[in-house]
Amino acid sequence: KFPSLCGVMGTPYLSKKLCNLLIKTLKEALPSVSEKVNRQLEDHQNLLKELGPEITDKKLEVMNLVMKFNSNLRDSFSGMLTTQETKKTKKTEVRDGVKLPVTVTLFYSAGSKLKDAIERHMAQLDEINIEESLKNIDQQISASCGYQPPLFVADSVFSRIVSEKIKSLDEPVMAVINAARETIDRVIKDIGSSTFVRFPTLEAEVVMYARQEVQAKVEQVQDFMKQFLAIQQGYINTSNPEFDERYTIASSLFKDDNTTAASFSQSSNGRKRRKLEEREVELMVKLVVNYFDITRKMVKDSLHKAIIRTMVLDLTETCNITILSQVLQTEAESLLCETQDLDIRRNHSKKMIETLTKAIRVMSNIGYR
């Protein structure tokens, strides 16, 4: 029997048998292993893409990144940029033993955020109620007339009272401007974080210079609004086309035959005097409120236009040149300095890609056997 069994016995046969068994086992496990290796290869390729390639011309890279930042900033306000490409986050997920950063996609429009902030703080202007402060207006009318009886509305009193009420708009107007600046600062920070993921030093420089430019635009808007409010306080234009209620109220108030100035001067009845004075006060209150509402509407319109024109449109037009002129004074080498962690991760991903590529090549050879 031995001659018939010698072909299936011995070391050569065992070696061949085990080799075939190993190949069979590998072929059975090959689909799942291949899928796992391909997935790891894709993850490392994506990670290497996020980390970015090594930079040769660093000055050109700085210029390109600054221009990209300004373009993203402009598009975010216009509504054309609704997502951030990447956002730095401390969150990570482990996939097949590889720790990968989680990509966060944010859907938002900087223009809508700014609009909401302006409208939310602009409501403070609408909440100003001057009628409560006009309760002692009769005293101001009497004081302005001296020893003369207050028969008619004194223009000087009207102008002085309206000017004082317009001054109450100063604080809420500045609050709206500051709210707009805070919103723009947050947008600049978000755009900077997404644009300069690899270069925190460059991000800090660009964000600093961009915020300095915003501050300059804020000061321009503040100066404009202070001058605008000063003009409104300095001259009360009762010939304003919208201020027609003054005449309708006056005509309706003094249309009674027995309530004229002549009849009042000839009458010794104190009740008629008080009635006329009450109508005088009522007229003044309505006129002041009416004129204040007209002025408030003009202030809100001018404020909104000034913020958008100066702090958004002018900013995006001049920001690129201003930042480049400041940034290029610094050595590009120091601006594009990456953290040691990024360099380690990039080298690790390169080695893993090389190893996984060889593994895929070996598995493909096994599959053909």
- Judged by DSSP in three states, 101 sits in strand
Considering the chain, what is the average pLDDT of its residues?
A: 76
Cα–Cα distance list, 118 to 77, 126, 167, 181, 212 (Å): 14, 13, 20, 10, 21
Q: Is the pLDDT of residue 339 over 50?
A: yes
Q: Predicted confidence band at 228 (pLDDT cuts at 50, 70, 90)? A: very high
Please answer whether residues 225 and 303 qualify as being in contact, where contact means their C-beta atoms are separated by less than 8 angstroms.
yes
Q: What is the largest CA-CA distance in the chain?
A: 155
Provide the 8-state DSSP code for 260: S
Lowest mean pLDDT among 124-133, 148-157, 177-186: 148-157
Q: Predicted confidence band at 337 (pLDDT cuts at 50, 70, 90)? A: confident
* Closest-CA residue to 359 (of 3, 117, 19, 33): 33
Residues 6+ away with beta carbon under 8 Å from 41: 353, 356, 357, 360
Q: Predicted confidence band at 145 (pLDDT cuts at 50, 70, 90)? A: low
pLDDT of residue 301: 93
**Each residue's pLDDT tens digit, 47-100:** 877 777 667 677 888 888 889 998 888 888 877 665 444 344 444 444 444 444
Please answer whether residues 203 and 196 qualify as being in contact, where contact means their C-beta atoms are separated by less than 8 angstroms.
yes
pLDDT of residue 97: 45
Helix (H) or strand (E) holding 34: helix 11-51
Helix (H) or strand (E) holding 99: strand 98-101
- Judged by DSSP in three states, 95 sits in strand
pLDDT of residue 74: 87
* Closest-CA residue to 117 (of 177, 192, 207, 172): 177
Q: Let me know how long the chain is.
A: 369
Both tokens of 331, joined, read 């050595």
pLDDT of residue 256: 53
Taking the C-alpha atoms of residue 361 and residue 232, their distance in angstroms, rounded to an integer, is: 80
Average pLDDT over residues 14-27: 82
pLDDT of residue 178: 93
Q: Is the pLDDT of residue 254 over 60?
A: no
Q: Is the pLDDT of residue 111 over 60?
A: yes
Greater pLDDT, 121 or 308: 308
For the purposes of burial, counting CB atoms within 10 Å of the CB of 312, is it exposed (0-12), middle (13-18) or buried (19 or more)?
A: buried
Q: Is the pLDDT of residue 220 over 90?
A: yes
Taking the C-alpha atoms of residue 135 and residue 289, their distance in angstroms, rounded to an integer, is: 12
Helix (H) or strand (E) holding 92: strand 92-95
